[in-house]
Amino acid sequence: MRRVASAPAKAILFGEHAVLYGAPAIAVAVDLRAKVSLDNADEWSLNGQSLVPSENPHLASLIRWASVEDRPQAIDVESDIPIASGLGSSASLCASIGALLVPEPISKERIARAAHNSEAEAQGGRASPVDTSTVTLGGAVVVSNDRWPGIDHRWDVDLSGPDGDRHWSIHSISLSSELRSIPLVIGSTGKGSSTAKMVASVAARMHESEFRTSMNRLVACAEDSIHLMLGGNPISVGVAMNRCHALLREIGVSSPEIEALIEAALPHSIGAKMTGAGGGGCILALTEDPESCATAIRSAGGEAFVTRMGAEGVRIEDFSEFS
């Protein structure tokens, strides 16, 4: 029987890099989606091709988690989410498949845990739960090292890996109607980025006094942003985006390609910033004039997607039990 689920893309609004130094990360689900269908088959396949576990470690991990190795499925994926862009395409795929692999509907917490474990296994024991939690829960999510007061705590995540034991607390926050309705334009540089390389470049400079001062300001900016998101005023959030981007540029994780898109987007935006590890990837622009903003981004050489934050998380579109 054919079963269908979908999950949104995600964008980190605040907390890049600073999350590694004690700050929370604030991410939002945006209304680009990946849709996955599963159907009974004679062998495991992905978009018509035999599924090779070594080439698809995320999916192989999920299949083992669900204990359905002997119940092959044809997996088909349709996605609006650009890959390798920092928008959580892998997490969206994992959450959608995880929601379908067991023969009954399961909780979002269980889906998020399975998706995070699959990403961690595929990445050699290193994976933050930001992406998988956000695409599963939808809306806006705060991930921090400890429980954050005044917001809705959902669950905790622990991971043992080559870098030692890690702990995260997952929270959700309600977005105001103003933040849900204002467009968020995503601009892609088309240039890939190595998260590991960018994280290492920051770590290598943490011994510098001025650099640590900038990082402390970035941590404070991320912490302040929780209150701004709860306040729900798009102008305040946009101003904070500008401030945080200036600090990210100051610590050296921006790039000429990112700056070109920021410069193009700002005249049409309340606020704009890079999202993710930097060195490439995407920018976000909060704007009341999305068409002009998107046109400017395209004119500067980027690809533009007009979205809104607060999208629904993973959902079952159609579900029947395994035969």
Active-site residues: which are they? 131
64: CB partners within 8 A, 6+ apart:
none
Tokens 């306040």 sit on residue: 231
Pairing of β 73-79 and β 45-46: parallel
User: At 193, which amino acid appears?
Assistant: S
Classify residue 209 by burial, with Cβ atoms within 10 Å: 0-12, 13-18, 19+.
exposed
Question: Does residue 286 contact residue 184 with C-beta atoms inside 8 Å?
Answer: yes
Give the CA distances from residue 120 to residues 83, 113, 181, 252, in Å, rounded to whole numbers and listed in that order.
18, 10, 34, 27
Measured from the Cβ of residue 88, the count of other Cβ atoms closer than 10 Å reads 28
Question: Does residue 119 contact residue 88 with C-beta atoms inside 8 Å?
Answer: no
Q: What string of DSSP letters covers 72-99?
A: -EEEEEEE-SPTTSSS-HHHHHHHHHHH
Give the CA distances from residue 196 to residues 202, 207, 276, 292, in Å, rounded to whole numbers and listed in that order.
10, 19, 12, 34
Question: Does residue 308 contact residue 13 with C-beta atoms inside 8 Å?
Answer: no
